[in-house]
Amino acid sequence: MTTDFFTPIVDDPYDYGQISAANSLSDIYAMGGTPFLALNIAALPPQLPTEIASEILRGGAEKAKEAGVVIAGGHTIQDKEPKYGLVALGFVPLDHILTKGGLQPGDVLFLSKPIGSGVISSAIKAEKARPEEAAEAIEWMKRLNKDAAEHAINHGARAATDITGFSLLGHAWEMAHASNTGLLFNFKAIPLYTGTERLADEWNFAGGAFTNAEFYEPHVVFPEQMGKEKRMILFDPQTSGGLLFAISKENTEQCEQAAKQAHIPLWKVGEVTTSGKIEVK
């Protein structure tokens, strides 16, 4: 059982509802589970037009339906700023549970969505993101992690987590710490939303990125030549981010080929080490 909710990060209320629902369901998928029941959590200003509130809830309901989830009620209160999310309940077979602590040295790391939604969302609010950049990020954030989770399980994933508010490196450190291992990331292999590097160069970072950097940077080794902006991208808090999971080397090629055949987005971004640190090259 899990819950998540947040304030709007995009202008369209339907997209906001879809993104929030996908984000709320993500923790179920990250543990290899199947969500089946959800409750709405909503805090809405009394002056908010009914049609906007309806679109938020419709977006959430349709994303839940896509996931095979029944929204069986919920609770709404008045608040000055809109907030929406779900309480989600799921089942997982005992032999398929994915945890953060199952990494083994030599495992290969895969990521199922690009990075940079915090940068793009901040730029949207500042009216600096181009329409096509915003549209691309929104479509990715609305995407369920269902296919990625099933693919990971089918190919013997040892450990997994979803990449959300603590950033790629923050959630990666949680996995490394729980597994008593290290991780090595290849920055050039990490997918970024279109416009992320340009907007990062203009310092469009959410406040959470600086908190993440302060907390997790002592565990990270960066190349000396890597600029501050690129480092901050890896501390960028994600909304409805992808799954980061580990596959044994023996299963890597089959995992990649099957993902390509099934049109499941997947990027090989690094490997598990014995360093006890997060390293970026």
Encode pLDDT of 212-260 as tens digits.
999 999 999 999 999 999 999 999 999 999 999 999 999 999 999 999 9
Answer whether CATH 3.30.460.10 is correct for domain 2-95.
Answer: no
* CA separation for the pair 253, 108 (Å, rounded): 10
For the chain, residues classed under CATH 3.90.650.10 are 98-280
Fold of 98-280: Phosphoribosyl-aminoimidazole Synthetase; Chain A, domain 2 (3.90.650)
Question: How is residue 43 annotated by DSSP?
Answer: E
250: helix, strand or coil: helix
DSSP label of 80: S
Rounded to 5, what percent of the chain is helix, strand, coil?
45, 25, 35
Q: Which two tokens stand for residue 114?
A: 């690009």
For position 96, what pLDDT does the model report?
83
DSSP state for residue 234 in the 8-state scheme:
T
**CATH 3.30.1330.10 domain span(s) along the chain:** 2-95
pLDDT tens-place string over residues 140-188: 999 999 999 999 999 999 899 999 999 999 999 999 999 999 999 999 9
For residues 63 and 222, give the distance between their C-alpha atoms in angstroms, rounded to a whole number: 38
Q: What integer pLDDT is reported at residue 36 of this predicted model?
A: 97
Coil, strand or helix at 229: helix
pTM, to two decimals: 0.95
CB 9, CB 16: distance < 8 Å = yes
N- to C-terminal Cα distance for the chain?
Answer: 37
Q: What is the mean pLDDT of residues 55-71?
A: 97
DSSP 122-154: HHHHTT-S-HHHHHHHHHHHTS-SHHHHHHHHH
